[in-house]
């Protein structure tokens, strides 16, 4: 084997070892709630996201995913509010047309999340939906 090929093989093996160890470490966020839209025009898409997650570990997200356009002509985002392993809350924001990879969320494909534990609004505080 040529020395360059051996180095390439070693790098590839190391890369895949790291890649395959990441999902276990990354599956530490439990989804509490999901909203889609803009700050002033957004909708709760938690249930629809759960339905999509059951059949798609990765998917490209947009209006057609959720069956609604809460802010026609405006750039929208999907906000996923989650809880980490120590109970800290975090918000994940995905621009419209992003690819969502459920590997970072525990229970993604089983839909074991978003069961009424969220009481915040768009910015994570009191419900500010308009």
94-119 tens-digit pLDDT: 999 999 999 999 999 998 888 777 77
State the residue for tokens 């356009």.
69
pLDDT class of 11 with cuts at 50, 70, 90: low
37 vs 122: which has the higher pLDDT: 37
Q: What is the CA radius of gyration of the chain?
A: 18
More confident site: 100 or 19: 100
Answer yes or no: is pLDDT of 79 > 60: yes
Give CA–CA dist 37/79, Å, rounded. 8
Q: What pLDDT, on the 0 to 100 scale, is given for residue 19? A: 46
Residue 48 near residue 65, CB atoms below 8 Å: yes
The two three-digit tokens of residue 80, written as one number = 């996923």
Q: Which of 3-7, 12-16, 46-50, 54-58 has the lowest mean pLDDT?
A: 12-16
């Amino acid at each position: 084997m040529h020395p360059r090929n051996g180095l390439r093989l070693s790098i590839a093996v190391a890369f895949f070892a790291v890649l395959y160890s990441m999902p276990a470490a990354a599956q530490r966020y439990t989804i509490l709630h999901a909203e889609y839209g803009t700050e002033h025009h957004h909708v709760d898409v938690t249930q629809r996201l759960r339905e999509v997650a059951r059949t798609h570990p990765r998917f490209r997200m947009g209006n057609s995913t959720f069956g609604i356009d809460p802010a026609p002509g405006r750039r929208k985002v999907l906000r996923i509010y989650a809880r980490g392993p120590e109970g800290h809350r975090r918000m994940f924001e995905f621009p419209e047309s992003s690819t969502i990879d459920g590997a970072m969320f525990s229970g993604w494909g089983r839909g074991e999340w978003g069961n009424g534990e969220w009481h915040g609004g768009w910015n994570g505080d009191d419900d500010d939906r308009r």
